[in-house]
Structure 1
Amino acid sequence: MNDTPGWTSPGSAPSDGQDGSGVPRPSAPADANGSAPQWSKDQPPAGQWSPPTDRTPQPAGPGPNWGAPRPDVHWGKPPAAKPGVIPLRPLGMGEILDGAAKTLRIYWRTVLAITVTVAVISQTVDILAQRYLVPAPPEISADATPAEELQQSLDAAQSSLIGLAPSLLVTLMASTVSAALLTVVISRAILGRPVALGSAWQEARPRLLQLVGLTLLLAVMGAAVVTVGILPGLLVGGAPGVALVLLGGLGSLAAAVWLMVRFSLASPALMLERQGVTQSLKRSAKLVQGSWWRIFGIILLTQLLIFLFAMIIAIPFTIVGIAVDGEGFSGLLSGSATRFGWPFLIVTGIGGVITSAVTYPISAGVTVLLYVDQRIRREALDLELARAAGLPGYGPTAADRTVGG
């Protein structure tokens, strides 16, 4: 008996009072002898039914076209065009990460020329700042009270931040220049067009000052939001002040993250659409609207992967640096006023160059591809990119007014 009324699979035995279709047989009037008419003896036996179609014997087992798609021109969707490192359609998170990594792998000469140069400059400045600008940690006496130890630690942290300020500024500028050049390279990689280092520099140079201003504006904006959040707690002081600092710090940190994600696409908008700083911020806010959580998740996952990769590289180089500069490490453990020497700084600096050379293009690639993905979803940029790439079937090649020029 079937669960579905009115349907029985071909070849199944009829149930009592039913034919092969599963529908009850109609009752027939009795004949002259008073007996109900019997079904013909020519009825096929149960389980031997076959549909009245072609009776040509079929070969056993799957045929040569077994599993082939239906031969219909309208069956399914045609594959998206892919002139470069990504398909020209809305992208998934894995495709964005893969596109960034593929750009590094295919155009490694240009990409590494940019990132290694920038990383060497920033790491050199960082090593010099740590050696000559950052003061040695203060000696903590054995009879110091907990309050004195805390105050000395705060003073040491403040001195370190002041000493590292030039290094942080140079690193910020270096990463900005790297992002500008890599944006040009990645925009060409989307179209399948390689670009030399000189061409990328000529393309990015006119907008470098604007990009630096945008980067500094975002940094100041985030710092101002956090400062406003913790300032009331600092003014109150005491136990209530500590509670206000914690609450205000968490709230302001959440607000700063929201702003950074909202304006995360301003950099590629400035570089690729040739807009000003204010227009780029508005453009990013418009593209991110309605997709904040998706963009936040992709950025968070990317930064987590970059952090894990940085730790994988940094830990072995740190161990080697300690091994070759054991005197400085033992002095720090004993609490004496000393610092790491040149061997440790050089070894860890080499690890930093390797890390930056790989993570810079991944971070920049994800940002640019997120920008392209949002424009494909909202503005059908894929059609313009296909025309710019010269693909057949998309009309005449557009003038250099799309991503990649």
Structure 2
Amino acid sequence: MKDTPGWASPGSAPSDGQEPGASHPAEPTDRPVGAQPADQPGPNPQSPGTKWSEEQPPPGPGQWSAPAGPPNPGQTPPPPPPPPPGPGWGTHPPAGPGGAYPGGPTGPGQGGYGGWGAPGGWGAGWGGPPPAAKPGVIPLRPLAVGEILDGAVATMRTYWRTVLGISLTVAVITQVFVVLLQGLILDATTDTNALGDPSATADEQLSAMGDAMRASGPVLLITLIGTITATALLTAVTSRAVLGKPVTLREAWRDARPQVLKLFGLIFLLMLIAAAIVLACLLPGILVSAAGSSDAGAALKAFGILGSIVLVLWLLIRLSLASPALMLEKQSIKKALGRSAKLTRGSWWRVFGIQLLALIIANVVAMIVVVPFALLGAAVSDGGISGMVDASSDYGWTYLIISGIGSVIGSMITFPISAGVTVLLYVDQRIRREALDLDLARAAGLQDYGTSAPGTTPGS
């Protein structure tokens, strides 16, 4: 056995087959060197050329200690101990002033982990898994919440000409129809004065509420149509932004045009499903009220409203990824709904939280723009700013036009964020469940992506 400095005992080297520090009987000096003692078992055991001293120094750090008793005949000696820590691989470098180590915290008493990960220290040759490829606005791996929001904003910033052109065009057309509808038709046929009159009867207030709902219905329908169109066009832009490829307004329309009618059908079907759920939840209360029990019917209606809100919200989030599935996979309406239900299975709360956060951020930013325009429009109108709380006030065309300009600017912010977050959520769920990052890398032109050793593929 070859002695290695740092762990062998001082003095002569121990023999193979014997433990160091053990006592031995005196051997005759006239025995030939290499002759086998009569009492030593085993085939061809060898005797040490030099005997151990009867008095050994006391065991110290890193030394062997003498066994408590004589070794058993034929027992295999224990392996040698590991060498004590030295200045080589895996050890701390020498401490500096104050007990600090290079690469660690400095100052008196700041020893601890010094040198770990520092040059020459433990792990100096391993820097963790390689970063994920990022050909476009997001890295090709499962995304965090901040990366989804940042990807939507980065799409607006990088492709601002196309995004601005789509959002501005759709918002202007939408607001023109809304302003014309409100100024020419709704203001003349809608009477909401009873809402601000405390002396109005219950029937008058209910009639005023009905007029207000009928007036807001067409406005919401036009806004919904504009949102669907913007979402269809911006989905194509965001999908190109993920690959880092440029896209023009004409290319976005060419990609989205075959699926636009299907997207309208999808939204219309979702609205019908939501209306059917609300009606089913309110039906017991309506029937009980019709039977003559108004109090019980009112209570059932209240519970029905709460239940319908929960069910409709759950359904809309579960099917919220149907729009990008329809546009990007060229699926039918039924298959797009099934794809969304599959992708959001087990991730409902995550999808809900991200979309709610994006909605809050987009609308807060939009309100910062819209409210000053609404106040300006009210200030230059006959009713003044104080008339904004009066339901009977009629601001006329000046207010409608100025507030419409603010709504256009706000829509230019909300359209890209809402569409971008929805598309990136769809991409993220497919990366997590279907390894879409490999297909995206090939589409982006990345060579040998995902062919490295296991565990190094982004998103694994």
Normalised-by-shorter TM-score class: 0.7 to 0.9
Q: Select which of 283, 287, 296 maps to 2:339.
A: 283
1:107, 1:178 → 2: CA distance? Answer: 15
Q: 1:142 offset after TM fit, Å?
A: 11
Would you say 1:393 and 2:453 are equivalent positions?
no
1:104, 1:141 → 2: CA distance? Answer: 42
Would you say 1:86 and 2:141 are equivalent positions?
no
Q: Select which of 398, 410, 415 maps to 1:343.
A: 398
Would you say 1:179 and 2:234 are equivalent positions?
no
- Could you tell me which residue of structure 2 aligns to residue 372 of structure 1? 427
Aligned-partner residue type, residue 169 of structure 2: T
Post-superposition Cα deviations, 1:275-307, rounded to whole Å, max 9, x if no partner, equal 100000001111111111111111111112223
Post-superposition Cα deviations, 1:14-35, rounded to whole Å, max 9, x if no partner, equal xxxx9768x9x9999xxxxxxx
- Could you tell me which residue of structure 2 aligns to residue 31 of structure 1? none
The 5 Å alignment of 1:59-78 reads 67-68=118-119, 70-72=123-125, 75-78=127-130
Q: 1:53 offset after TM fit, Å?
A: 4.6
Q: 1:152 offset after TM fit, Å?
A: 2.0
Q: Select which of 244, 248, 258 maps to 2:314.
A: 258
Post-superposition Cα deviations, 1:168-227, rounded to whole Å, max 9, x if no partner, equal 222211111110110000000000001000011011101110010001111121122112
- Could you tell me which residue of structure 2 aligns to residue 222 of structure 1? 274
Greater length-normalized contact order (CA 8 Å, ≥ 6 residues apart): 1
Q: Kindly name which structure, 1 or 2, has the bigger radius of gyration based on alpha carbons.
A: 2
The 5 Å alignment of 1:7-156 reads 53=87, 67-68=118-119, 70-72=123-125, 75-134=127-186, 135-140=189-194, 148=201, 150-156=202-208
- Could you tell me which residue of structure 2 aligns to residue 244 of structure 1? 300
Q: 1:127 offset after TM fit, Å?
A: 1.2
Q: Greater helix share, 1 or 2? A: 1
Gaps of 5+ in 1: 1-17, 29-49, 397-405
Between 1:61-70 and 1:197-206, the stretch displaced more is 61-70
Q: Is the Cα contact below 8 Å between 2:383 and 2:394 reproduced in 1? A: no
Post-superposition Cα deviations, 1:342-401, rounded to whole Å, max 9, x if no partner, equal 1111111111111100110100011000100010001110011011101122389xxxxx
- Could you tell me which residue of structure 1 aligns to residue 436 of structure 2? 381
Q: Is the Cα contact below 8 Å between 2:229 and 2:260 reproduced in 1? A: yes
- Could you tell me which residue of structure 2 aligns to residue 358 of structure 1? 413
Q: How large is the RMSD of aligned CA atoms in angstroms?
A: 3.2
Compute the TM-score of the two structures, normalised by the length of structure 1. 0.78
Aligned-partner residue type, residue 331 of structure 2: Q
Gaps of 5+ in 2: 1-58, 69-83, 104-114, 452-460
Q: Is the Cα contact below 8 Å between 2:190 and 2:215 reproduced in 1? A: no
Aligned-partner residue type, residue 321 of structure 1: G
Q: Select which of 303, 321, 328 maps to 2:359.
A: 303
1:332, 1:95 → 2: CA distance? Answer: 40
2:389, 2:128 → 1: CA distance? Answer: 67
1:393, 1:19 → 2: CA distance? Answer: 57
The alignment covers a number of residue pairs equal to 352
Aligned-partner residue type, residue 357 of structure 1: M
Q: Is the Cα contact below 8 Å between 2:237 and 2:252 reproduced in 1? A: yes
2:196, 2:319 → 1: CA distance? Answer: 50
Compute the TM-score of the two structures, normalised by the length of structure 2. 0.69
Q: Select which of 212, 234, 238 maps to 2:264.
A: 212
Between 1:367-376 and 1:231-240, the stretch displaced more is 231-240
Q: 1:341 offset after TM fit, Å?
A: 1.2
Q: 1:153 offset after TM fit, Å?
A: 2.5
- Could you tell me which residue of structure 2 aligns to residue 232 of structure 1? 284
